[in-house]
Structure formats: C-alpha cells, structure tokens
Amino acid sequence: MKKLAIFVTFLFAIGHIYAQKIGVVDTNYVLSKLPQYKEAESRLNSQISQWQSDLQKLQADYERKREAFENEKVLLVGEQLKMREKEVVDMEASIRNTIGARFGSNGEVNQLRSNLTKPFQDQIWNAIKTVSTKNNLGIVLDKSNNISVIFLDKKYDYTDAVLSLLGKNISKDEKASSGSVSSGTLNGKEQNGRISPKGKLKSTQRKSLGDSAEMK
C-alpha cells in the first residue's frame, strides 16, 4: 500500500511538471544585444589586453635576465652569484603571482567580469519574470547555461520577448535621464549633481611577491 502511494505521488509530480508551460531564454544572446553591456565589456577587454601586454613584458625581461645569468654564472662567485640567482628566482615568482592574481580562477579578471555582468543579470531576471507572468510560464530554461537544446519550437523561445522588454525599459530610462537634464538647462538652473564621465575600470595595486596563489 505504501509503495502504491509513493508511485501515485510520483505520477502526480510528473504530471504536474508536464502540465507546466515551459519557456527558453538565451541570456548570452540578450547580453550581447545590450549597448551598455557591450560598452562595459569593451572597457573590460581593454583592461585585460593591457594586463596581458604588461605580463608579456615581464616575461620577456625574465627570459633576458635568466639567459644572462645562465651564461655568466660560471664567472660569478660568492655573494654575487647568490644575488644574481635570487633576482631570477624573485622575478619568476613575481610573474607567477601576477598570473594567479589577475588571471587565476579567483583573479581580478573573473571578479571584474562578475561585477560587470551582475547588474545586467538582475535586469534580465526581472524581464524574464515579467515575461513568465505574462505568458503563464511555469518553467524557464536558460539556453546559455550548459543546456543542450537539440530542437526548439520557436513558440517556446522567449528570448526576443525578454530583449524587447529590456529595450523598452532602457529607452524609458534614457528618456527620463535626458529629460531631467534638458529641464535643468531650459530653466537656467544650476544642476546640483554633475554627469560623471564613463568610469574607467580601476587598476588594482600590484600584488607583493610571495606564494599567494584566472584575460578578465
């Protein structure tokens, strides 16, 4: 009897799941179509390129210093040998630490990318929630989140609906922002707040040498 009750409950749960209206959204595609995200991502990629360039210079300096040491160490003795060897070891450690601190799994690149996407993820989540309510969706799958979709009927794909809603919200925000600035100008009143220029990504302090320790 107990087994029968469990089986009935299982069938009821399966039936309930299949009764839910399912939708699919490609959040990566939505992100790629948001102008603000593309602009912020461009600044992030620029910062990553600069860090990669700095790292290449460090590695080139290290290779030159290491090669010079290998060629000259037979002529070095005592403290001079130890000092030159320490310079090479310290430079190698510095490169390792820089790679770990900036490009490691918990490095600055991943942290900056997470900070970059979070505000947009919140916007997308709110848009998905609105679209789900409007279309009576019980389940929404993210096509970008390692989900293999072999076939998808277009009527179950709500990506464009989410993108359209985000576009409308963004347009409203931009109009409201420009409207307040125009109003202040027409009235000839001095604005209390200043429109700040687009911020650049902050450069973090260089990590000290040591064994601490994923562009980006």
| Whole-number pLDDT of residue 195 | 31
| Whole-number pLDDT of residue 10 | 42
Q: Mark the ranges of the chain whose per-residue pLDDT is less than 50.
A: 1-18, 180-216
What's the burial of 176, exposed, middle or buried (CB within 10 Å: 0-12/13-18/19+)?
Answer: exposed
| Whole-number pLDDT of residue 207 | 40
Provide, for the chain, the percentages of residues in helix, strand and coil under a 3-state DSSP scheme, each rounded to the nearest 5: 70, 5, 25
First to last CA, the chain: 58
Note whether 120 and 126 are within 8 A (CB). no
Locate tokens 């009750």: which residue?
A: 5
| Whole-number pLDDT of residue 171 | 60
Coil, helix or strand at residue 115? helix
| Whole-number pLDDT of residue 197 | 36
How many CA atoms lie less than 13 Å away from 196 in the CB half-sphere? 4
Residue 21 DSSP code? -
| Whole-number pLDDT of residue 175 | 54
How many CA atoms lie less than 13 Å away from 185 in the CB half-sphere? 7
